[in-house]
Amino acid sequence: MATLSAVNKMSWICSHVIRQTTGFRAAKLIQQRAFRVNGAVRQQPFDSSEEKPQFPGASAEFIDHLEFIQPNVISGIPVYRVMDRAGQIINPSEDPQLSKEQVLNFYQKMTLLNTMDRILYESQRQGRISFYMTNYGEEGTHIGSAAALDPRDLVFGQYREAGVLMYRGFPLDLFMAQCYANVDDLGKGRQMPVHYGSKDLNFVTISSPLATQIPQAAGAAYAAKRENTNRAVICYFGEGAASEGDAHAGFNFSATLECPLIFFCRNNGYAISTPTNEQYRGDGIAARGPGYGMMSIRVDGNDVFAVYNATKEARRRAVAENQPFLIEAMTYRIGHHSTSDDSSAYRSVDEVNYWDKQDHPISRLRHYMTARSWWSEEDERSWRKQSRKMVMEAFEKAEKRHKPHPDLMFSDVYEEMTPNLVKQKEAMWRHIQQYKEHYPLDAYAK
Catalytic residues: 122, 208, 337-338
* Amino acid at residue number 396: E
Is 114:366 a contact under the CB 8 Å cutoff? no
Question: Minimal CA–CA distance to 77: which of 249, 246, 329?
Answer: 329
DSSP strands (E only) in 15-136: none
SS3 state at 80 = strand
Beta strand pairing call for 233-238 and 154-156: parallel
Q: What distances in angstroms separate CA 78 from CA 149, 284, 300, one per listed residue?
A: 24, 11, 10
Beta strand pairing call for 270-271 and 203-204: unpaired
SS3 state at 146 = helix
Task: Name the β-bridge partners of 319.
Answer: none
Rounded CA gap, 250 and 222, in Å? 11
Is 129:179 a contact under the CB 8 Å cutoff? yes
Task: Name the β-bridge partners of 296.
Answer: 326
Provide φ and ψ at 114, rounded to 5°: -60, -40
Q: Rg for the chain (alpha carbons), in Å? A: 28
Is 321:157 a contact under the CB 8 Å cutoff? no
DSSP label of 429: H
DSSP label of 437: G
For the chain, what's the residue count? 446
Rounded CA gap, 12 and 371, in Å? 88
> What is the spatial order of strands in the sheet that 154-156 belongs to?
203-204, 154-156, 233-238, 261-267, 325-330, 295-300
Rounded CA gap, 67 and 393, in Å? 66
Beta strand pairing call for 261-267 and 233-238: parallel
Beta strand pairing call for 274-275 and 270-271: antiparallel
